[in-house]
Amino acid sequence: MDQHLKDPGFDSEAARKRKAYMLELFGYQAPKYDLHDDIIGMGIHRRWVKDVLKVIGHFKQGKEKLKMLDLACGTGFVTFNTTRHFPDIEIDAFDLVPEMVGVAKKRQAKSFSDRKIDFWVGDSEVPYGENKYDVITTCFAFRNFANKNLAAKNVYAALKPGGMFIIQDMTKPEKQPLRGLYLFALKYMLPVAGKILGTAKGSPRYLYNSVMLLPKNTDIARILTDNGFADVWHRYQSGGMGTVVVGYKK
Ligand SMILES: C[S@@+](CC[C@H](N)C(=O)[O-])C[C@H]1O[C@@H](n2cnc3c(N)ncnc32)[C@H](O)[C@@H]1O
């Protein structure tokens, strides 16, 4: 299929460097990741995850049992929010960074041991099955994948026919003055907050860079259509600071 945006390649130096950086950054941040998210994000991610839950709830209507994958699950923010709202959904969840998965597993053992959730360490760019899932989510993570087409292809293969893929991520507002104000805050104010909180060296800079790296909201939708997804739609969150993009496997 003709691709709108090119991947650097699984074995490329760019992909290897990106993954090494992810391992270092999130390996360091894992123990404080949830706390820092709450403080730095000022709770906005909690509002945004509700949009994801709404899409899942709508999809779930009239369906018996759903199996979901939370891709790049981190410490399980979306996994646990989903199981809280929809206790009957069976969830698989994986992430590249063992320390993040470690935090998620501890939390599961403490508060969600009665739920069907399976966490493991894995790479979104390596295939993880065919026709297995009704829903796949990836939140605050798509921008981190070096090979976005490859990640989308793996999702497509892993979904059952009729299955739904939800990408939620931080994006760049397209309209001024919000765009300017937001990028200014990310570039200049976030590093100050990061210093106070003691986040990993360079991590606030990472957030700015990763948002800048992200294709335009509409281009994320194009990645999905380029890789076989149908009926793709997207919805802005908070004026475009976040976006939810949804596509279906027919
Ligand atoms: C900002 S965190 C978001 C975590 C979680 N989804 C959430 O909503 O809190 C981004 C996550 O993407 C993961 N990640 C980055 N590249 C990945 C890859 N190639 N495969 C799987 N996970 C990846 C990182 O390890 C990190 O945990």
- Looking from the CA of residue 97, the nearest atom of ligand 1 is 25
Lowest mean pLDDT among 18-22, 28-32, 67-71: 28-32
How far is the centre of ligand 1, averaged over its atoms, from the C-alpha of 72 (Å)?
A: 4
Lowest mean pLDDT among 134-138, 180-184, 190-194, 231-235: 190-194
Residue 199 tokens read as 């986040």
pLDDT for the residue 184: 82
- Looking from the CA of residue 73, the nearest atom of ligand 1 is 6
Instruction: In whole angstroms, give the CA distance from residue 140 to residue 144.
Output: 8
In tens, the pLDDT along 102-153 reads 999 999 999 999 999 999 999 999 999 999 999 999 999 999 999 999 999 9
Q: Which residues contact 25 (CB under 8 A, 6 or more apart)?
A: 200, 202, 203, 206
Nearest residue by C-alpha to atom 6 in ligand 1: 73
How far is the centre of ligand 1, averaged over its atoms, from the C-alpha of 74 (Å)?
A: 5
Return the best residue to mutate from 80, 97, 121, 209 for the ligand 1 pocket (most ligand atoms within 8 A of CB).
Answer: 97
Residues with CB under 6 A from ligand 1: 22, 26, 72-74, 77-78, 95-97, 100, 123-125, 139-141, 144-145
Lowest mean pLDDT among 29-33, 46-50, 83-87: 29-33
How far is the centre of ligand 1, averaged over its atoms, from the C-alpha of 157 (Å)?
A: 20
Instruction: In whole angstroms, give the CA distance from residue 145 to residue 38.
Output: 23
| pTM across the whole model | 0.92
Nearest residue by C-alpha to atom 4 in ligand 1: 74
Instruction: In whole angstroms, give the CA distance from residue 104 to residue 225.
Output: 32
pLDDT at 162 over 60: yes
Q: Which residues contact 97 (CB under 8 A, 6 or more apart)?
A: 22, 23, 26, 27, 30, 74, 121
How far is the centre of ligand 1, averaged over its atoms, from the C-alpha of 111 (Å)?
A: 22
Domain map (residue ranges) of the chain: 13-173+215-248
How far is the centre of ligand 1, averaged over its atoms, from the C-alpha of 53 (Å)?
A: 19
| Cα 7 off chain centre by | 18
Instruction: In whole angstroms, give the CA distance from residue 87 to residue 68.
Output: 12
pLDDT for the residue 198: 62
Return the best residue to mutate from 7, 10, 22 for the ligand 1 pocket (most ligand atoms within 8 A of CB).
Answer: 22
The alpha carbon torsion through 30, 36, 42, 48 (nearest 10 deg) reads 0
What is the arithmetic mean of pLDDT over 23-33?
A: 91
- Do residues 141 and 165 touch, judged by C-beta distance below 8 A? no
pLDDT at 72 over 80: yes
pLDDT more than 70, % of the chain: 90
Phi, psi for residue 171 in degrees, rounded to 5: -135, 180
* Count of Cβ atoms closer than 10 Å to residue 85 Cβ: 15
In tens, the pLDDT along 210-223 reads 777 677 777 889 99
Question: What's the Cα-to-Cα distance from 139 to each of 103, 173, 193, rounded to whole Å?
Answer: 17, 17, 23
pLDDT for the residue 174: 81
- Do residues 80 and 103 touch, judged by C-beta distance below 8 A? no
How far is the centre of ligand 1, averaged over its atoms, from the C-alpha of 65 (Å)?
A: 26
- Do residues 197 and 37 touch, judged by C-beta distance below 8 A? no
- Decide which of 3.40.50.150, 3.30.9.90, 3.40.720.10, 3.20.10.10 is the CATH code for 13-173+215-248: 3.40.50.150
How far is the centre of ligand 1, averaged over its atoms, from the C-alpha of 246 (Å)?
A: 18
Question: What's the Cα-to-Cα distance from 2 to each of 5, 26, 49, 226, rounded to whole Å?
Answer: 9, 33, 32, 7
pLDDT for the residue 156: 98
